[in-house]
């Protein structure tokens, strides 16, 4: 008969009771620890996470009242609210044992006991521990989901060849358990890709946890990612699981991993290698089972060469790499993306669906989009709010940065008057944030003349 994977702690000042219980229970459970002195309970619980505790109600200095048992029951529950405690008591203390259940004990056991009764009681109450643990995990995940509820994540959109290649790689890697490193500029949709991998994986029914490492300070890194015990620091008023624990059985996405300092990289590497976390203020190792996806816009390989990023950590996180194209590498997708964002923001602001004309699309396709899709998204939202008609015109978009190539053309000695005029008009419109009246005044044109040129040049 195989042993159950459970850790049992027996606390009693009777050495014979401890020896008899341990000899019997070791035949059925992987780990059985015994302790004569209840004063050692805090240390024991700090160093080990027990699935069940057998606790004597009376110790030598207080043999009949049960007060010591109640005291140590409260200590145990204070340290581990999910603890499953079975009181060990004599026949004369049944009323006290029942009171103990009201105060937090799970069950009681009369001594001397029969071994079959002892085994049956422990086995039944281990299920209580599992239920408590599952409930705590659920609460932990619910907190993360509530914090994540206002984020909007849609389906991946892209018909450009560069994007089709990315989608093909997503489909290949999703069904594996391989660690994935997503590379790309800011605003290219790295988290969307990570979520797409999760949705297509075998973990799709489990939780997806996103962590922006760039937004976590060094002092909060361990408590946020690995969790903490009550009292571990000044504001630690309750036990809290970290992001790795919350992501157990699911996927954890570590964004901006290139921002980690060398010392934090070492701590993260240790967790990834051992697949265990230790909460701040505790020595107990908690096993984790997560799918790891990381992302960055930083040149990790160059950082490795400059001793700013650990090579062993890079090898750990990049079993598969996926490079996300910038928006200028997939200009064909701008019409699809614009339509997608128009639907979202017209619905959000409860206004009739707006459309975009061909001239405006041409203008958008000529912008160099330093902020990539995120910049496009914000531009569409702003245009939806500020435009006064149902069709968006070029002047409805505030594009603050003109195309670098066109800027160079303007600086050159080109004698092409039409091209120079086109570039100048676009520059002045951008300068005034799309305000046609101000742009026309600076250019020395009427509003009507400027509108004709905008239409002529497809601005």
pLDDT given at position 9: 96
Q: Is residue 147 scored above 90 in pLDDT?
A: no
Residue 414 pLDDT level (bands cut at 50, 70, 90): very low
- Of the candidates 304, 325, 346, which is a domain's last residue? 325
Determine phi and psi for 189, rounding to 5 degrees.
95, 35
Domain identity same for 378 and 439: yes
Exposed, middle or buried, 415 (CB in 10 Å: 0-12/13-18/19+)?
exposed
CB-based contact 266:318 (threshold 8 Å):
no
Is residue 361 a part of any domain in this protein? yes
DSSP string across 312-343: HHHHHH-SEEEEPPPGGG-GGGHHHHHHHHHH
Q: Does 319 lie in the same domain as 338?
A: no
State residue 108's pLDDT score. 87
Range of the domain at 404: 328-457
Top-confidence residue, 98 or 222: 222
On the question of pLDDT at 413 being above 50, the answer is no
| Residue 118: CATH number of its domain | 3.40.50.2300
Residue 138 in domain: no
Q: What are the CA-CA distances from residue 201 to residues 106, 212, 280 (Å)? A: 39, 22, 32
Which residue has better confidence, 54 or 145? 54
Q: For residue 144, is it within any domain? A: no
Does 9 share its domain with 26? yes
Q: Is the model more confident about 325 or about 237?
A: 325
Q: What is the dihedral of CA 353, 359, 361, 367, to 10 degrees?
A: -130
- Boundary of a domain, candidates 93, 110, 131: 131
Least confident of 65-74, 158-167, 290-299, 324-333: 65-74
**Is residue 309 located within the same domain as residue 334?**
no
140 located within any domain? no
pLDDT digits (tens, 9 = 90+) for 344-355: 999 999 999 999
C-alpha closest to that of 288 among 434, 140, 158: 140
When computed from its CA atoms, the radius of gyration of the chain, rounded to whole angstroms, is 32
Within-domain flag for 136: no
- Chain segment 426-441, per-residue pLDDT in tens: 778 877 767 788 888 8
Identify whether 91 is part of a domain: yes
Instruction: Report which of residues 129 and 17 the model is more confident about.
Output: 17
Instruction: Looking at the structure, tell me whether residues 173 and 261 fall in a common domain.
Output: yes
- Closest to 337 measured CA to CA, from 294, 299, 306, 380: 380
Same domain? For 354 and 447 the reply is yes
CATH assignment of the domain containing 174? 3.40.50.300
Residue 291 and residue 357 in one domain:
no
Residue 141 belongs to a domain: no
What is the DSSP-derived secondary structure letter of residue 93? G
- Which residues neighbour 333 within 8 Å (Cβ) at sequence distance 6 or greater? 157, 158, 159, 160, 163, 327
369, 327 in Cβ contact below 8 A?
yes
Closest to 201 (Cα-Cα) out of 141, 251, 137: 251
Please indicate, yes or no, whether residues 447 and 351 belong to a single structural domain of this protein. Answer: yes
- 167, 268: one domain: yes
- Give the total number of structural domains in the chain: 3
| Domain end residue (candidates: 275, 298, 325) | 325
The reported pTM is 0.68
SS3 347: helix
**Tell me: the pLDDT tens digits for 200-250?**
999 998 999 999 998 898 889 999 999 998 888 888 888 888 999 999 999
Q: What percent of the chain has pLDDT above 70?
A: 88
Query: Both 314 and 367 in a single domain?
Result: no
pLDDT of 150: 44
Residue 167's pLDDT is what?
93
Query: Do both 301 and 345 map to the same domain?
Result: no
The encoded tokens of residue 347 equal 């619905």
Q: How far apart are CA 38 and CA 75, in angstroms?
A: 10
DSSP string across 133-185: HHHHHHHHHHHHHHHHTT---------SHHHHHHHHHHHHHHTS---EEEE--
Q: Is residue 327 pLDDT above 90, yes or no?
A: yes
Is 122 within a domain?
yes
Average pLDDT, the chain: 86
Q: Which secondary-structure segment (H or E) carries 109? A: strand 107-110
Same domain, 181 and 235: yes
User: Domain holding 385: CATH number?
Assistant: 1.10.8.60
């Amino acid at each position: 008969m195989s042993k159950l994977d459970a850790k049992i702690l027996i606390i009693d000042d009777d050495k014979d009771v401890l020896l008899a219980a341990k000899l019997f229970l070791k035949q059925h459970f992987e780990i059985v620890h015994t302790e004569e002195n209840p004063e050692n309970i805090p240390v024991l619980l700090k160093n080990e996470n027990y699935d069940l505790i057998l606790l004597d109600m009376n110790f030598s200095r207080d043999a009949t009242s049960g007060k010591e048992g109640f005291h140590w029951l409260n200590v145990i529950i204070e340290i581990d609210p999910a603890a499953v405690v079975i009181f060990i008591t004599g026949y004369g203390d049944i009323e006290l044992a029942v009171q103990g259940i009201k105060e937090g004990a799970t069950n009681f056991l009369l001594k001397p006991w029969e071994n079959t009764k002892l085994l049956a009681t422990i086995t039944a109450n281990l299920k209580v521990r599992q239920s408590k643990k599952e409930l705590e995990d659920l609460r932990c995940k619910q907190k993360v989901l509530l914090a994540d509820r206002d984020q909007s994540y849609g389906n991946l959109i892209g018909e450009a060849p560069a994007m089709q290649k990315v989608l093909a790689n997503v489909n290949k890697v999703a069904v594996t358990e391989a660690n994935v490193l997503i590379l790309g500029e800011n605003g290219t949709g790295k988290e969307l890709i990570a979520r797409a991998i999760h949705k297509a994986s075998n973990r799709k029914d489990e939780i997806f946890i996103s962590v922006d490492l760039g937004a976590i300070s060094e002092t909060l890194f361990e408590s946020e990612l690995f969790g903490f015990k009550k009292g571990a620091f000044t504001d630690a008023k309750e036990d809290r699981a970290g992001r790795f624990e919350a992501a157990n059985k699911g996927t954890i996405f570590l964004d901006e991993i290139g921002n980690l300092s060398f010392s934090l990289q070492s701590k993260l590497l240790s967790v990834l290698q051992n697949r265990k976390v230790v909460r701040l203020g505790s020595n107990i190792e908690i096993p984790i089972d997560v799918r790891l996806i990381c992302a960055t816009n930083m040149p990790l390989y160059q950082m490795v060469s400059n001793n700013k990023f650990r090579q062993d950590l890079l090898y750990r996180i990049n079993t598969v790499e996926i490079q996300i194209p910038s928006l200028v590498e997939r200009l064909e997708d701008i019409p699809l993306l614009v339509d997608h964002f128009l639907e979202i923001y017209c619905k959000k602001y409860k206004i009739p669906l707006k459309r975009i004309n061909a001239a405006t699309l041409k203008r958008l396709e000529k912008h160099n989009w330093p902020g990539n899709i995120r910049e496009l998204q914000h531009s569409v939202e702003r245009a939806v709010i500020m435009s006064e008609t149902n069709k968006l015109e070029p002047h409805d978009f505030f594009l603050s940065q003109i195309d670098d190539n066109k800027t160079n053309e303007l600086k050159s000695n080109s004698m092409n008057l039409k091209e120079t005029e086109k570039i100048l008009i676009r520059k002045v419109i951008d300068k005034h944030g799309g305000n046609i009246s101000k742009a026309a005044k600076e250019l020395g044109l009427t509003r009507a003349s400027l509108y004709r040129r905008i239409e002529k040049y497809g601005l």
